Structure 1
Amino acid sequence: MPERRPPIEAQGQSLADLAAAIEARGESPPVDRWNPRHCGHSGMRIARDGSWFHEGSPIGRPAMVRLFASVLRREPDGSHVLVTPVEKLTIDVEATAFRATQMTMAGEREQRRIGVMLDSGDALIVGPAHPLTVIETAEGPSPRVAVRFGLEAELARPLYYELADIALAEGHEPPGVWSDGAFFPLVP
């Protein structure tokens, strides 16, 4: 059976092509409107590196991971759940639910738009709807972009370093970057 939401391929795409692919993909399932009773723990975990596990074993099928990722949300108390119209199961998340693994951009300074590809096969444009923040963690600064339903994606270090180079070259104080009409400081 073919996937209903195949991954968006960002490699080699222009920002305009990526934005069109995001638009064509449409909305995620409305997990923010589903409120079934809590049924327990899923036995699943998302490791710090983005790997998904079920009962200690890696989930090896990328399509299965994408399916689970599509019904994931973060609760107001900070916990993560997999939710369908009929059940809600807790899932452990060691850092963030997703990783931003690729990046493309167009424009400069205030006219810049930054697109990122997530390890879940989704993509987004950094901006007011998907703000970029940097928080301090025990492992050091963690650059994150808001995805949906309270979920975040941590930027891979090379992406963060590329943005830091841009911020330093542009001389903003505090150091930061513009995307989609908004300015995002790159310091916690």
Structure 2
Amino acid sequence: MPYEAPPQLADMSLADIARALEERRLPPIEKWNPTETLDSKMRIAADGTWFHEGSPISRAAMVRAFSTLLVREEDGSHALLTPQCRQTIKVEDAAFVAVDVQRKGDALAFRLNTDDLVLAGPDNPLQARGDAEVPAIYLKVRHGTEARVNRSTWLQLVDLAEDLDGVPRVSSQGATFPLVPQ
């Protein structure tokens, strides 16, 4: 069955996004505890491009499938999990890239480079790193993984921000996040 990309984020209501998140079937990797560990020979570049043995993975459907198996370990390393095997994967910066954001009611909805949708909030916080001159914004995705907010999406966030005590901040689902490191 061919993959059908979700509609543009701007065209979706908060109810549409919530429904899409509910309908997304992810593998139950939190229940898996594989004993074998291998090197996947894969790497995720800082720009979100996935590579296998040095060559880019050009099939978006494969990247989407692999991304559902991705976890970030407590030591900061990443792995792809199956019930039988943990395969290490090198991640240069963040596993995902946030490529769009829209305010939907009291929530900030993000689209990732894998077409995943994520609602920022207490369960998926935004974190500012770097410094005030060159901030880097990260969004928690799932299983410890993060998405780095790309430049155009960061500019969208700045447009949505309120200046509180001289610090630009955005709020989503009752949580407030600074857009510069504190």
Structure 2 length as normaliser, TM-score?
A: 0.89
**2: CA distance between counterparts of 1:2 and 1:162?**
31
Partner residue of 2:163?
A: 171
Partner residue of 1:154?
A: 148
Offset at 1:7? 4.6
SS at match of 1:96: coil
Could you say what the CA RMSD is over the residues aligned between the two structures, in angstroms? 1.9
Partner residue of 1:183?
A: 176
Offset at 1:64? 0.6
Matches of residues 1-150 of structure 1 in structure 2 within 5 Å? 1-2=1-2, 7-11=5-9, 12-26=11-25, 28-107=26-105, 112-136=106-130, 140-150=134-144
SS at match of 2:164: coil
**2: CA distance between counterparts of 1:8 and 1:180?**
22
| Deviation per residue, 1:21-78 (Å, 9 max, x gap) | 212224x212122111242210100011000010011111111111100101001110
Matched to 1:164, the amino acid is V
Q: Equivalent pairs: percent with the same residue?
A: 46
SS at match of 1:44: strand
Matched to 1:56, the amino acid is G
Does structure 2 conserve the Cα–Cα contact (< 8 Å) formed by 1:15 and 1:104? no
Structure 1 length as normaliser, TM-score?
A: 0.87
**2: CA distance between counterparts of 1:9 and 1:146?**
22
When the two structures are aligned, how many residues end up with a matched partner? 178
Long gaps (5+) in structure 2: none
